[in-house]
């Protein structure tokens, strides 16, 4: 059985490691400055970040190619709905509170599974919202708003 660690994947890990090292070293040892007046650490941080991103892209491409060779299909639907749900949650949580953002998050993310019924989606969203409110507001006493900054 062929390993998932191909030459491309190994190269991607190496490029990401060097880029991460460059970012961390430059950030901790040099002044970054600002875009209007850059410091000596800004260029190495940007190049290191570019290396991390390009290594990640090559790594994802290598993993997808290996999965395709093994006959494992890649489905974009689950990934798309999960990312969409997280983005919607991030946009809503501060303005509407997590009492509204959590059920929307769960409802949108549940569309990643084609076989889930609408009734089960609603039950899951409601139950996870109750659990979140109980845990974060009543037990942990987190100061995030639950409903439109009211409670």
Could you tell me the two tokens for 11? 């190269």
Residue 149 lies in a domain: no
Collapsing DSSP states into helix, strand and coil, what is residue 38? Answer: strand
Does 53 share its domain with 91? no
Does 50 share its domain with 25? yes
Does 80 share its domain with 129? yes
Of the three residues 70, 93, 114, the one that is the final residue of a domain is 70
Could you tell me the two tokens for 50? 């570019």
Own/partner pairs for 4-10, CB < 8 Å, 24+ apart?
4/63, 4/66, 6/62, 6/65, 6/66, 8/58, 8/59, 8/61, 8/62, 8/65, 9/59, 9/62, 9/63, 9/66
Of the three residues 15, 44, 70, the one that is the final residue of a domain is 70
pTM above threshold 0.75:
no
Of the three residues 19, 38, 70, the one that is the final residue of a domain is 70
Does 34 share its domain with 85? no
**Domain residues for 80?**
76-139
**56-95 per-position pLDDT tens digit:** 999 988 888 887 787 777 778 888 999 999 999 999 988 8
Does 44 share its domain with 99? no
Does 91 share its domain with 36? no
**20-41 per-position pLDDT tens digit:** 999 999 999 999 888 788 889 9
Does 91 share its domain with 110? yes
Number of structural domains (the chain) is: 2
Helices (H), 30-138: 42-70, 76-96, 98-109, 118-132
Does 87 share its domain with 115? yes
């Amino acid at each position: 059985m062929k390993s998932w660690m191909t030459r491309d994947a190994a190269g991607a890990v190496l490029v990401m490691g060097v880029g991460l090292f460059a970012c961390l070293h430059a950030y901790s040892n040099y002044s970054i400055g600002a875009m209007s007046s850059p410091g000596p650490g800004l260029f190495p941080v940007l190049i290191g970040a570019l290396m991390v991103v390009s290594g990640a892209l090559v790594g994802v491409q290598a993993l997808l190619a290996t999965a395709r060779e093994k006959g494992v299909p890649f489905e974009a639907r689950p990934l798309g709905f999960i990312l969409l749900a997280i983005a919607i949650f991030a946009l809503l949580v501060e303005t509407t509170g997590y009492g509204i953002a959590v059920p929307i998050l769960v409802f949108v993310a549940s569309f990643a599974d084609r076989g889930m019924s609408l009734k089960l989606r609603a039950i899951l969203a409601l139950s996870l919202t109750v659990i979140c409110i109980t845990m974060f507001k009543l037990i942990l006493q987190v100061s995030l708003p639950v409903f439109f900054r009211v409670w």
